A and B are shown apart, each in its own frame.
Chain A
Amino acid sequence: MVGKSEPINGTAKSQPPPSPLSPKSPDLLSGYFSFKSLKLKTKQQELLIRVSILCLVYILAFVTRLFSVLRYESMIHEFDPYFNYRTTLFLTEKGFYEFWNWFDSESWYPLGRIIGGTLYPGLMVTAALLYWGLRFLRFAVHIREVCVLTAPFFASNTTILAYFFGKEIWDTGAGLVAAALIAICPGYISRSVAGSYDNEGVAIFALLLTFYLFVKAVNTGSLSWGLASAFGYFYMVSAWGGYVFIINLVPLYVLVLLITGRYSMRLYVAYNCMYILGMLLAMQIRFVGFQHVQSGEHMAAMGVFFLMQVFYLLDWLKHLLSDTKLFQAFLRMTVTSAVGVGAVALGVGTASGYISPWTGRFYSLLDPTYAKDHIPIIASVSEHQPTAWSSFMFDFQILLFLFPAGLYFCFKRLSDATIFIVMYGLTSMYFAGVMVRLILVATPAVCLISAIAVSATIKNLTLLLRAKTKAPQSASGKGGSSGKAASKGSLDQSQPFQKNGAIALLFGAFYLLSKYVTHCTWVTSEAYSSPSIVLAARGAHGNRVIFDDYREAYFWLRQNTPPDAKVMSWWDYGYQITAMGNRTVIVDNNTWNNTHIATVGRAMSSYEDEAYEIMRSLDVDYVLVVFGGVTGYSSDDINKFLWMVRIGGGVFPVIKEPDYLVNGEYRVDKGAAPKMLNCLMYKLSYYRFGELTTEYGRPPGYDRARGVEIGNKDIKLEYLEEAFTTSNWIVRIYKVKPPNNRW
């Protein structure tokens, strides 16, 4: 045992040497061994500290996302996660094959939706695998719990990944800081709290994994890392549409390396392996299909791939051709012809329709005003709005200041890896500015770059502090408190301010970082941890009031309507109705058919008799509207109504936005436009509301969400009847009456 252990170091010397007379005493030997193994070497100490920090960060990242579970319950949040939950449920019940071939007749009635071919299955398959794994290990968990905790679990994994990534581009210190920063960064937490079972939950992990593996491949030039990054890319493609970012950023990065003369064999191996394999793998996802070779958004990657081959060819020819002049001429010729051939191919492909043009969403990323003018359905989603400065501050806080500092450090120590992170940071920051939801993509880059800033600064400062104490300390051996005390006397007097300044700066850094921690915790608990299905408010006596109206209505639909009933509502509630109400909907949050949505928008903004015709033609049995006038809930259908008009009017010019406005102003009181006061949405929202007194001292029919008395209190319904209204009136469901007898 003793022989196997490491050579005796300084600490062991202090122990009294064993008596030579009884060297084989087992007690003494074991005592010696345990004593030795307790004292760790510096390297082991470092490893221990590192591992325990990472473990703590891992746990922290998980725990900080559980606010919503503790405050409310273990439930799925918001809109899209309900679809994911429903499909995961289907997958675990029916198996993968059925899931892959699932034609869902419950949504987009009467068109239906081919679920297997129109979704990114990564999230569902991940959750199902976790579920089956836990079941196999005899943990009798419910699939809902797995789904609720998938996002926090992957957030924890992302922290570990951030550590390795930070280690790869800078050093272990930066890696640790990056792990800690990303664990609590609100920009990431906003999409990965417990219950937020959305694609982004696993996609950020996949994104960072792909990038990390690619950088690793570029750094090592190893085929195995390139292969791994291709699989990382495959996972990303299966999980989220944001993979387009990878397939454009990586070629861009390669291009930059080519231009800056950093082309190497490592890069060649890494990119080719990743691109070709990744492309082939990505084609296995039915929703993506042949887009890698057919869609304009993916052409950059292909172009760079061919460029890479040209580069390699040139490199090889350079070896063969000794004459530089000849080579220069050849170079010019090849590059021009290559670029020319590429441009012609692209032009022909686009013109012949083989290569599809860019989608609207992609356009709106490059030109933020595009969606507003051309695609109201994209502009109507709040998370597609351009980002306000305040939300940058809200989501990043000090990282916003550390980010440029980190960029400075990166530029100071340029390498293939730092160029990558700089490019990732800059491009994603641009996209984050264009769309609110893309802050999420920028978060890992911002955290990593800020981590470099923090780590490098603190390292420099501590080096400053330690540099002076080093000389006197070397005599006393191991650094300890006694060493520090001894060195105090012999301090170098020439640089007193530098040391004090360093201490002050260190304290400043810790103050900032601790501020960051409190800010993140506050943001997480206040802003990002409400499920938005259950609304909570403070009552008059400070007690917590819960509005559970959504589930009340959905459960009513589920239990008390015919199983084949079709429910018409605005598309926001489609996923929830199918998942919680288990009823067929006309439109849902998968906004693939603009005309269908516009038809619903048209029905909502028409007079009742016209709407009845549309509803009959769509076979609608129930109409569901969300109304916040009683509780003061502001994101209801009346406030969304103008978007319905716009989207409806975009397809059916009968609907004109000015008809619903008075002098460009949107109102619901007496001064409202007559068409507004009599359209279906108004009638359904305010039916019999005029009889209700909502606030003391106000006239009946006082709308608390908009703070006005409604303009049409005497609403009569001819073709619909009230079927159910929830206890706080938030959801109102109407039944479409069958047509009258014709004789």
Chain B
Amino acid sequence: MAIPLRLRAAVSISIFALLLILPSCSAQDIQVVNAERRIDLTSHIIKVFLTLKVENTGASPASEILLAFPPTQVDHLAVVKAQVATGKRKKKTYTPLDVNPKELPDAPNGTKYLSISLLNPLAAGEAVTLEVLYILTHSLEPFPVEISQSESQLVYYHDSALILSPYHIKQQITFIKTPTTKVESFTVVDPTHRAGTELKYGPYNDRPPHSYSPVIVHLENNSPFAVVEELVREVEISHWGSLQITEQYKLAHAGARHKGVFSRVEYQSRPGHSGVSSFRHLLARLPPRVHSVYYRDEIGNISSSRLRLGALKSELEIEPRYPLFGGWKATFVIGYGLPLEDFLFESPDGRRYLNFSYGCPLVETVVDKLTIKVVLPEGSKEPSAVVPFPVNQYLEKKYSYLDIVGRTVVVLEKNNVVPEHNIPFQVYYHFNPIFMLAEPLMLTSVFFLLFVTCVAYLHIDLSLRK
């Protein structure tokens, strides 16, 4: 996970403090009894489900479990979520756990660690089952790098057959799910099996800590590699009852680059065979009760979009001006209005807060850099944002219609955003409703003055001659 340095420093300081307080529990005191990893390669967003059964073999209780990642993977790590299952079958409840990056002094080959803080320290001899989900982006490397219109897209996936871990793993197994049955090649680390769309590595028994066995899977993946290189979402709050959202996209097809001819005849006449890795449509999930939706770019409106309004969610199907082949880009803007009462609330202490979803409304896309700008109404004070994950924050000023002092803008920036980041965040601020009247009053007074001048002009005789 790419975490701003500042934050990383803060976290590491706190962890350092934690280490001082806690009795040091060395890695050898913990072992993984059973590990199962399922890697889903069906889209360009790679999801890995990891189930670890961890046992404390040492004498002192352990309060954290470490996950290890090779340095190449850690940069592409978008989300790591861990949860622990409690209770017996059928009555299982999952409790999410905190995951924080951690620096260890003697990491071999630049291995990076994340620590999962357990709710209750794991007592000696006890075992617990952890479920970890992590998401990797930009980890499918197209090969060949350039393809023509009629070819399908092949990609490399690099990983290790053995789970990288600072602990001893007794038994482990890895499943890789490919989108189609077409797999060009894969590294064999016995025992390795391939059946249909599933590739199985393992089971492997008794591997020491930091075991690593690189594998390469060369597979076909024609899912749309839709990457938003930059997304700026501007949320403008108007206390007159609406929330105006403007989203500026820089979309790219991050798959194998298109080479040579683009033939419209073939693209139109043989849609199944020609340009299989390209995509035409994108789906945006918008909140319900959305209104005045527009979809345009620098040179005007784009007429190819469809909006379906529903009670629970609205769906906007957009089509860029041209089909996107590998390496092609498109920029566009989506804007819409939302009723204010669905998103703006008053907190018990008199402050108002906006409760809005972070992340990109387009389904199955990666956002390399997401900037959310919350434009507060003119005259609001003391803004503060509450975001469930680390973001880079700062304030700006913006001048919109009839603004005199300018509006405060809370800017939240985050890199490498995936659909799992679509969770609400809050922005709190103080606002006096009297400011709502400022602009109407200004307009009325201007018109009043205009009429007064007209009346005065008609009634006053300024000529010198009488």
A contact residues vs B (CB 8 Å cutoff): 47, 72-73, 75, 138-140, 533-534, 546, 548, 551-552, 554-556, 558-560, 580, 688, 691-692, 721-727, 729
Q: Could you say which residues of chain A place their CB within 8 Å of the CB of B184?
A: none
Q: Could you say which residues of chain A place their CB within 8 Å of the CB of B399?
A: 138, 140
**Top 4 nearest A-B pairs by Cβ distance?**
A725-B264, A552-B321, A73-B301, A559-B329
Q: Given A75-B300, A560-B329, A580-B299, do A138 and B264 touch, yes or no (CB 8 Å)?
A: no
> Contacting A548 at CB < 8 Å: which of B264, B303, B331, B401?
B303
Pair B299/A688 contact, Cβ less than 8 Å = no
B251-269 contacts to A (CB < 8 Å) = 260-265, 269
- In whole angstroms, how far apart are the Cα atoms of A514 and B321 in the complex? 44
Q: Could you say which residues of chain A place their CB within 8 Å of the CB of B301?
A: 72-73, 75
- In whole angstroms, how far apart are the Cα atoms of A231 and B400 in the complex? 35
Distance in Å: Cβ of B397 to nearest Cβ of chain A: 13
- In whole angstroms, how far apart are the Cα atoms of A411 and B368 in the complex? 76
Pair B299/A551 contact, Cβ less than 8 Å = yes
B308-346 contacts to A (CB < 8 Å) = 321-322, 327-331
Pair A724/B299 contact, Cβ less than 8 Å = no
Pair B403/A722 contact, Cβ less than 8 Å = no
Q: Could you say which residues of chain A place their CB within 8 Å of the CB of B327?
A: 560
Residue of chain A at shortest CB distance from B401: A140
Q: Given A138-B399, A138-B403, A556-B322, do A721 and B329 touch, yes or no (CB 8 Å)?
A: no
- In whole angstroms, how far apart are the Cα atoms of A580 and B297 in the complex? 11
- In whole angstroms, how far apart are the Cα atoms of A534 and B296 in the complex? 14
Distance in Å: Cβ of A66 to nearest Cβ of chain B: 16
> Contacting B262 at CB < 8 Å: which of A551, A558, A724?
A724
- In whole angstroms, how far apart are the Cα atoms of A70 and B431 in the complex? 38
> Contacting B402 at CB < 8 Å: which of A139, A556, A722?
A139
- In whole angstroms, how far apart are the Cα atoms of A722 and B263 in the complex? 7
Q: Given A73-B300, A551-B299, A560-B328, do A725 and B262 touch, yes or no (CB 8 Å)?
A: yes
- In whole angstroms, how far apart are the Cα atoms of A688 and B267 in the complex? 12
> Contacting A551 at CB < 8 Å: which of B269, B300, B404?
B300
Q: List 25 A-B contacts (CB under 8 A).
A: A73-B300, A140-B401, A548-B303, A548-B304, A551-B300, A552-B321, A555-B321, A555-B322, A555-B330, A558-B298, A558-B299, A559-B328, A559-B329, A560-B327, A560-B329, A688-B263, A691-B265, A691-B269, A692-B269, A721-B261, A722-B261, A722-B262, A722-B263, A723-B262, A726-B322
- In whole angstroms, how far apart are the Cα atoms of A556 and B401 in the complex? 33
Q: Given A560-B329, A688-B263, do A139 and B401 touch, yes or no (CB 8 Å)?
A: yes
Distance in Å: Cβ of A687 to nearest Cβ of chain B: 9
| Contact residues of A: prevailing secondary structure | mixed
Distance in Å: Cβ of B290 to nearest Cβ of chain A: 20
Q: Given A548-B303, A551-B299, do A688 and B265 touch, yes or no (CB 8 Å)?
A: yes
> Contacting B297 at CB < 8 Å: which of A140, A534, A546, A555?
A555
Pair A140/B265 contact, Cβ less than 8 Å = no
- In whole angstroms, how far apart are the Cα atoms of A8 and B263 in the complex? 87
Residue of chain B at shortest CB distance from A690: B265
- In whole angstroms, how far apart are the Cα atoms of A559 and B401 in the complex? 32
Q: Could you say which residues of chain A place their CB within 8 Å of the CB of B262?
A: 722-725
- In whole angstroms, how far apart are the Cα atoms of A47 and B455 in the complex? 13
Distance in Å: Cβ of B352 to nearest Cβ of chain A: 23
- In whole angstroms, how far apart are the Cα atoms of A75 and B329 in the complex? 23
Residue of chain B at shortest CB distance from A729: B264
- In whole angstroms, how far apart are the Cα atoms of A721 and B269 in the complex? 19
B contact residues vs A (CB 8 Å cutoff): 260-265, 269, 297-304, 321-322, 327-331, 399-404, 458
Distance in Å: Cβ of A1 to nearest Cβ of chain B: 12
Q: Given A140-B400, A721-B260, do A546 and B303 touch, yes or no (CB 8 Å)?
A: yes
- In whole angstroms, how far apart are the Cα atoms of A650 and B76 in the complex? 62
Distance in Å: Cβ of B405 to nearest Cβ of chain A: 11
- In whole angstroms, how far apart are the Cα atoms of A533 and B300 in the complex? 11
Q: Could you say which residues of chain A place their CB within 8 Å of the CB of B261?
A: 721-723
Q: Given A560-B328, A721-B260, A729-B264, do A555 and B401 touch, yes or no (CB 8 Å)?
A: no
- In whole angstroms, how far apart are the Cα atoms of A548 and B301 in the complex? 10
Residue of chain A at shortest CB distance from B251: A559
Pair A559/B331 contact, Cβ less than 8 Å = yes
Pair A692/B300 contact, Cβ less than 8 Å = no
- In whole angstroms, how far apart are the Cα atoms of A534 and B300 in the complex? 10
- In whole angstroms, how far apart are the Cα atoms of A211 and B404 in the complex? 42
- In whole angstroms, how far apart are the Cα atoms of A685 and B318 in the complex? 30
Residue of chain B at shortest CB distance from A546: B303
- In whole angstroms, how far apart are the Cα atoms of A279 and B132 in the complex? 81
B261, B297, B329, B400, most chain A CB atoms within 10 A: B261
- In whole angstroms, how far apart are the Cα atoms of A632 and B110 in the complex? 64
Distance in Å: Cβ of A472 to nearest Cβ of chain B: 35
- In whole angstroms, how far apart are the Cα atoms of A69 and B111 in the complex? 60
Distance in Å: Cβ of A83 to nearest Cβ of chain B: 14
Distance in Å: Cβ of B453 to nearest Cβ of chain A: 14
A556, A559, A688, most chain B CB atoms within 10 A: A559
- In whole angstroms, how far apart are the Cα atoms of A442 and B269 in the complex? 53
- In whole angstroms, how far apart are the Cα atoms of A723 and B400 in the complex? 42
- In whole angstroms, how far apart are the Cα atoms of A290 and B458 in the complex? 46
- In whole angstroms, how far apart are the Cα atoms of A691 and B264 in the complex? 11
Q: Could you say which residues of chain A place their CB within 8 Å of the CB of B304?
A: 548
Q: Given A555-B322, A559-B330, do A138 and B297 touch, yes or no (CB 8 Å)?
A: no
Distance in Å: Cβ of B38 to nearest Cβ of chain A: 37
Distance in Å: Cβ of B320 to nearest Cβ of chain A: 9
Q: Could you say which residues of chain B place their CB within 8 Å of the CB of A533?
A: 300
- In whole angstroms, how far apart are the Cα atoms of A358 and B301 in the complex? 45
Given A138-B404, A140-B401, A722-B262, 20 further pairs, Cβ under 8 A: A73-B300, A75-B300, A138-B401, A546-B303, A548-B302, A551-B299, A551-B300, A555-B299, A555-B321, A555-B330, A556-B322, A560-B327, A560-B328, A688-B265, A691-B265, A691-B269, A721-B260, A721-B261, A726-B322, A727-B322
- In whole angstroms, how far apart are the Cα atoms of A22 and B260 in the complex? 100
- In whole angstroms, how far apart are the Cα atoms of A607 and B178 in the complex? 50
Distance in Å: Cβ of B28 to nearest Cβ of chain A: 55
Pair B303/A724 contact, Cβ less than 8 Å = no
Q: Could you say which residues of chain A place their CB within 8 Å of the CB of B265?
A: 688, 691-692
A73, A723, A727, most chain B CB atoms within 10 A: A727
- In whole angstroms, how far apart are the Cα atoms of A33 and B98 in the complex? 79
- In whole angstroms, how far apart are the Cα atoms of A722 and B301 in the complex? 27
- In whole angstroms, how far apart are the Cα atoms of A560 and B458 in the complex? 62
Residue of chain B at shortest CB distance from A4: B459
Residue of chain A at shortest CB distance from B331: A559
Q: Could you say which residues of chain A place their CB within 8 Å of the CB of B260?
A: 721
- In whole angstroms, how far apart are the Cα atoms of A551 and B399 in the complex? 31
Distance in Å: Cβ of A450 to nearest Cβ of chain B: 32
B265, B298, B304, most chain A CB atoms within 10 A: B265
- In whole angstroms, how far apart are the Cα atoms of A544 and B120 in the complex? 66
Distance in Å: Cβ of B198 to nearest Cβ of chain A: 37
- In whole angstroms, how far apart are the Cα atoms of A692 and B263 in the complex? 12
- In whole angstroms, how far apart are the Cα atoms of A580 and B321 in the complex? 13
- In whole angstroms, how far apart are the Cα atoms of A554 and B304 in the complex? 16
- In whole angstroms, how far apart are the Cα atoms of A727 and B265 in the complex? 10
Residue of chain B at shortest CB distance from A531: B300
Q: Could you say which residues of chain B place their CB within 8 Å of the CB of A140?
A: 399-401
Q: Could you say which residues of chain A place their CB within 8 Å of the CB of B328?
A: 556, 559-560
Pair B329/A548 contact, Cβ less than 8 Å = no
Q: Could you say which residues of chain B place their CB within 8 Å of the CB of A721?
A: 260-261
Residue of chain A at shortest CB distance from B328: A560
Q: Could you say which residues of chain A place their CB within 8 Å of the CB of B263?
A: 688, 722, 725
Q: Could you say which residues of chain B place their CB within 8 Å of the CB of A692?
A: 265, 269
Q: Could you say which residues of chain A place their CB within 8 Å of the CB of B303?
A: 534, 546, 548
